[in-house]
A and B are shown apart, each in its own frame.
Chain A
């Protein structure tokens, strides 16, 4: 997976989280996922179809999800509140939507699907075709993990290949 595909997600996470939480965000760690995805807490999955296909999982441990959701709600929420899960889903939607907007303007064509709550403990194992990159976004409310697995759906040529850094 090329950094040119990943950078828009990092930029989008920075824009969405820094604006929403009204504090700076930094990238804490960036790693390739070798094994099956293991959910950390409250996770939302956004599927992408088109020139590049795959999914982005936005994952927060329960305490961080509660702090983030309470910040957006402007009030302390109980951990069981549906709004905690709704908040994680909408943040995943906004980050993916903003990143896809940038990639679309580079010539890629996608369709973003509505976010769904990711409830299973494990996800599929990464393959050579769908490498998963895990990005840890550090915020003052805790760590937000983005697990990004994308693969090219069509052979790239010309401008698209250049945009993807091929």
Chain B
């Protein structure tokens, strides 16, 4: 898998911490492998929206990658509840269902961005950079470009 220049937190230079929310173990593992190529760290995982809320409180991640179609509580509702409690939460919806209404509903209810599955690592990388804004920094390896 392609490697990317590491994305770090600006405030302390530590890896960006991610909460993965998807009812598919396969999807969570796949996303974990992708964010590791960005220099990221998995802070926690959840298989449904309800667990995502408690895992957010427990792990306080920098980024949440949230599926939409899940049992018990869907991703958009979970995103709304997390943002109500934590307005600073950065939630990126990651779903195979990417039609306009879904995207608009997610953004209106607090998500910062939307990425359609199958996830292209280069697309997710740019979205994460955008969503982190000034709170993220690209760490160039020593000697890079030599």
Number of A residues with CB within 8 Å of any CB on chain B: 28
Number of B residues with CB within 8 Å of any CB on chain A: 23
A144 interface residue, CB < 8 Å from B? Answer: no
Closest residue of chain B to A106 (Cβ to Cβ) is B99
Contacts of A16 in B (CB 8 A): 118
Closest residue of chain A to B71 (Cβ to Cβ) is A114
A interface list, Cβ under 8 A from B: 15-16, 19-20, 69, 72-74, 82-83, 86-87, 89-90, 93-98, 100-101, 104-105, 112-115
Interface residues of B in 91-132 (CB under 8 A from A): 95-101, 116-118, 120
B interface list, Cβ under 8 A from A: 1, 23-27, 29-30, 33, 69-71, 95-101, 116-118, 120
B96/A86 in contact, CB under 8 A: no
B96/A89 in contact, CB under 8 A: no
Cα distance A2–B27 in the bound complex, in angstroms: 32
Contacts of B23 in A (CB 8 A): 114
- The one of A15, A72, A100, A114 that contacts B30, using a Cβ cutoff of 8 Å: A72
